[in-house]
Amino acid sequence: MENKLITPRKLQGFWELMPKEQMCFSNLINKIEEVFKNNCFVPLDTPVLEYSEALLAKSGGETDKEVYRFTKGSTDMCMRYDLTVPLARFVSMHKDELTFPFKRYQIGKVYRGERPQKGRYREFYQCDADIIGNEALSYVADAECIRLLEKCFEALNIDVEVRVSSRKILNGYVETLGKLDRINDILIVLDKLDKIPLEEAKLQLKEIGLSEKEQNNIIELTQTTGNIESVCKKLEKMCQNSTFVEGLENLKEVDSYLKNLGSKRVIYDLSIIRGHNYYTSIVFEGFFAGKKNLGAIAGGGRFDNLCGYFTDKKMPGVGMSVGITRLFSHLMQENYFNFDQISEIDCGIINFDETFAESLALEEELRKNGIRAEIFYENKSFKSKMKEANRRNLKYVVIVGENEVKEKKYTLKDMETSNQSQLSVAEIVKTIKG
């Protein structure tokens, strides 16, 4: 019976790249990881699968609908939808072994069953850095995470603006309306203001119980943006609720620390809410400078109560995350990468039949010296091998003939200029490394 071939295909919303694309993507991750290390964050890698009771402890809202949840035997489990809740579980388990403030970074895949669309996937990477405190955590940590977000994009040579707000301001205002029991529903609507028509947002707020005046006032509040002075001047006249006032004071404090840390592109913007309901105070998002309409490519905030579902000990935290998959998708569209200049090889080695053994030894010697050398060992003609070098955009080739082996000096050819020289291994290494 003839076997029926399976048509190769992948699941919708799941990501894979061609090799040169993957090299660029990995380079972005490496640069971000270096920023995390340089700012004294330590690595952590939590499991992709978690018990459902742990992962869903404080998700709520739209997030619950997006979680991949299933059972294996009697075990109810979920695939992680972010890296923050697993962090809270880890810290709660190991609180007596860690040093606080605990600063960790994690780079890994997360999963959300949302509808795939431009720049949004069901499987994607996040690059997270978080600071967890023991009983208390200074707002210096919030400023450090905001500045860290800026540093990540400085390392990538990408111009971003970071927009900062405080959930306490909105919470305090909603409290004055007597609707604190509906705060999550209200925040979900406000968080979608740039995605749905204004009239639809007002209708949803009306269904929650807000009068027309209250709808207009709270929408106006979320449209407040500017530097710290202009934002505070407007908001100080709007509400005297204690939580509202505390949120304003938090913004002022963070702003003072950011100035000392050398922050460059911070805008205070009350439309920044963040979708997850575990955020309790400062929240922020990063955008391509002047292109807020493209959506956030990074974000974060403070979560004072996240560990409360795992421990009685108060462990406030603040963190930031770069949505590296979405960022990469945007950069691809903007032709940020020059794939014609990318190669996994620094130099190719072209041998002849009688010099194959010596060419293998040369390949190993060059690799020991940090040169990504590759011998073209297929039984092809010299001309075919040179064409292969051109096809792979190689900058250099080393030609190994009988005379080269005898003299221990090999022909290094610059494929861009066609210049070639007889060089020793040490001289080849020096030339290629520049």
Delimit the domains of the chain by residue range.
19-333, 343-433
Asked if domains 19-333 and 343-433 share a fold, the reply is: no
One-letter amino acid at 411 equals T
One-letter amino acid at 330 equals H
* Helix spans in 1-73 (H): 19-38, 52-55, 63-66
Task: Count CB-CB contacts under 10 A for residue 364.
Answer: 12
For tokens 């505070």, the residue is 232
pLDDT digits (tens, 9 = 90+) for 355-376: 999 999 999 999 999 999 999 8
pLDDT value, residue 275: 67
pLDDT value, residue 187: 86
- CA angle 234-218-320, nearest 5°? 80
pLDDT value, residue 210: 87
How many Cα atoms are found within 13 Å in the side-chain-facing hemisphere of 61? 20
d(CA 172, CA 75): 40
One-letter amino acid at 272 equals I
10-residue averages of pLDDT along the chain (434 residues): 85 91 95 98 97 78 77 95 92 95 97 81 94 96 98 95 95 88 86 85 89 89 93 89 94 96 92 81 93 88 88 93 91 87 89 90 95 88 89 91 91 93 95 90
CB proximity list for 407: less than 8 A, separation 6 or greater:
422
One-letter amino acid at 295 equals G
pLDDT digits (tens, 9 = 90+) for 88-98: 999 999 999 99
Query: Hey, what are 267's tokens?
Result: 């805008």
Residue environment code for 275-312, b if the CB has 16+ CB neighbours within 10 A, otherwise e: ebbbbbbbbbbbbbeeebeebbbbbbbbbbebbbbbee
pLDDT digits (tens, 9 = 90+) for 278-293: 789 999 999 998 888 8
Strands of the 49-51 sheet, one edge to the other: 49-51, 75-79, 69-72
Backbone angles phi, psi at 319, to 5 degrees: -150, 170
CATH number (3.30.930.10, 3.90.230.10, 3.30.499.10, 3.40.1260.10) of 19-333 reads: 3.30.930.10
pLDDT value, residue 265: 84
Task: Count CB-CB contacts under 10 A for residue 24.
Answer: 18
pLDDT value, residue 412: 96
Q: What is the pTM of this model?
A: 0.88
* E strand or H helix that includes residue 407: helix 402-407
pLDDT digits (tens, 9 = 90+) for 136-193: 999 999 999 999 999 999 999 999 999 999 999 999 999 988 888 888 888 888 888 8
CATH number (1.10.540.10, 3.40.50.300, 3.40.50.800, 2.40.110.10) of 343-433 reads: 3.40.50.800
d(CA 182, CA 190): 12
Residues found in the chain: 434
